[in-house]
Structure 1
């Protein structure tokens, strides 16, 4: 178990590293907090990086994700879309979803948008420690994915120990995601077996 966990932490660290990406039809920006009509500093850096990829010609479409904590405030996805337009991105190059509350549903809802346009290849933008888990989830949704961490973020200033804590937390969350898949798959297979027995 210890070796497995060390391996997972290493996996998370490896996918947190900056690397060049090839052009893709779309960028998915994973949601982060919105403060009223403005993105939080963390979200603002994710948006800025997505805009950079768009302006560099590495993507033609930006998809923003994330719901709202309350009905009387705009969703993270909507705030992200508006902020990107203020930075000069063409409105027709932007889409967003407004109901997700976690990374899995960020991606699941974004895939609906992608399917409407026949897109299955994307660049994922988030903070470095988040991308290994997000990449696994995207591939589980049959997306071809490249990972592109924000080059600037408050998390970049963390100490080595603080970063290790983030990597460890993400490793636990990856285990949780894999367990959820395992149990959902077995539950689905059990339902099929019951259905076949009834027939």
Structure 2
């Protein structure tokens, strides 16, 4: 049996055998299955990397605790950001570092405070002196959080840092900090009681993949 395929602008009609058609179809299915398998394998590898991040132990006293930003809810830090702040407070009170760098820009044009300003207000309300809190108000991503925070640290004569964030976010944050030249960046990681881990770990897998692609160009 033969199938006939009409090609625009050509004559005579080209004949394509049924055998060749199904061979091509099997090849396309094989390619699709390889792509799906590779995607699932990468998903599993990244999830394993994300889950491998832990708070540095033992922790060496650092100059600064860099708290990575998260969304504001109006004039107040979101519940997730409060978890990072509360953990940062625990580390500060335990003597893990002497200064804060709070990092994050403006979430929405009509918000009164940037993420960094909201964090400073929260920390001072919990007893932290204003003169030990430095603000980084411009960042809109984890990479910018750490890049701009490093600039603040250099301006203020701070050389070592504990990067404070959630556990699902720690692996990427530490990799970025090392790429940017942080001096042995430590991690202070907290788990979350208020966020869906299915949602945030899925987003983090995509964000980590984007970071690895970005890293290739650095």
Q: TM-score band (shorter)? A: 0.7 to 0.9
Change (3 A) 1:9 1:72: closer
Work out whether residues 105 and 114 of structure 2, in 8 Å CA contact, stay in contact via their aligned partners in 1.
Answer: yes
SS at match of 1:147: strand
The CA RMSD measured in Å over matched residues stands at 2.0
- Of 148, 153, 157, the match for 1:114: 153
Match of residue 147 from structure 1: 187
1: CA distance, partners of 2:114 / 2:63:
24
Change (3 A) 1:171 1:35: closer
Work out whether residues 127 and 153 of structure 1, in 8 Å CA contact, stay in contact via their aligned partners in 2.
Answer: no
Corresponding position: 1:132 with 2:171? yes
SS at match of 1:154: coil
Q: TM-score, normalised by structure 1?
A: 0.80
Which digits, 9 at most, give the CA deviation of each residue in 1:56-93, with x for residues without a partner? 11110011111112155210001101110110011111
Corresponding position: 1:44 with 2:78? no
Work out whether residues 126 and 149 of structure 1, in 8 Å CA contact, stay in contact via their aligned partners in 2.
Answer: yes
**Structure with max Cα Rg:** 2
Q: TM-score, normalised by structure 2?
A: 0.74
Deviation at 1:146, TM superposition (A): 1.2
2: CA distance, partners of 1:152 / 1:87:
20
Match of residue 83 from structure 1: 122
Corresponding position: 1:35 with 2:69? no
Match of residue 60 from structure 1: 98
SS at match of 2:128: coil
2: CA distance, partners of 1:153 / 1:118:
35
Match of residue 196 from structure 1: none
Question: Higher strand proportion, which one?
Answer: 2
Consecutive unaligned residues of structure 1, counting only runs of 5 or more, are 186-199
Match of residue 211 from structure 2: 177
Structure ranking higher on relative contact order (CA contacts 8 Å, 6+ apart): 1
Question: Higher helix proportion, which one?
Answer: 1
Work out whether residues 9 and 171 of structure 1, in 8 Å CA contact, stay in contact via their aligned partners in 2.
Answer: yes
1: CA distance, partners of 2:41 / 2:158:
38
Work out whether residues 18 and 151 of structure 1, in 8 Å CA contact, stay in contact via their aligned partners in 2.
Answer: no
